[in-house]
Amino acid sequence: MEEVKGLKCKTSRISYLWNYLLIVLLAFFLILLLPYLNFSDLYSQTIFLIFFSIALILLLEPESEKLIREYFITENEIKKVEGIISKKEVSIPYQSVADVTLIKSLAGRIFNFGDIFVKGVMGNIRIKGIKEPEKILRIIENRISKIEEKETGES
């Protein structure tokens, strides 16, 4: 696979703030349960294993997202590349973009992260949980405007 030139974006760990809060709550709840758990009992072992598994999944989700998914804002298109061994690319040329939307949650407004939805004629790309999404949105909108100016200037 060739190297993609352009602005590279990845999901920010801070966008998984709720995961980390849930891990802390699970750990706190597990600490409260520890005096009541008898680890020679299968029931207690199962409860501990379930809590530990949920915490591990919540912890690994942001890391797997950063490892698996990359976004590129190039001169001609927006591209999402997914995968580790086999790569899947989805790209939307700027002339095919129908709409670009920025969504920020309350936590996103506080910590400056959000999602950008790019709707194209043939598909959509969700640029998930990136830092400074307004900056990326402006870059995308400016490149769309340049394409539109070229097209109207040529006609």
Kind plus residue range of the DSSP H or E element containing 64 = helix 42-68
- Per-residue model confidence (pLDDT) at position 86: 93
**Cβ distance 81 to 88 under 8 Å?**
yes
Residues 98/144, Cβ–Cβ less than 8 Å? no
Share of the chain above pLDDT 90, in %: 71
Yes or no: say if 78 and 92 are a contact pair by the CB < 8 Å rule: yes
Task: Evaluate if residue 17 carries a pLDDT over 90.
Answer: yes
pLDDT above 60 (res 2):
no
Residue 128 confidence class, pLDDT cut points 50, 70, 90: very high
Domain boundaries, the chain: 13-64, 74-154
> Between these two residues, 2 and 95, which has the higher pLDDT value?
95
CATH no., domain 74-154: 2.30.29
Number of C-beta neighbours around residue 118 at 10 A: 26
Mean pLDDT of the chain: 90
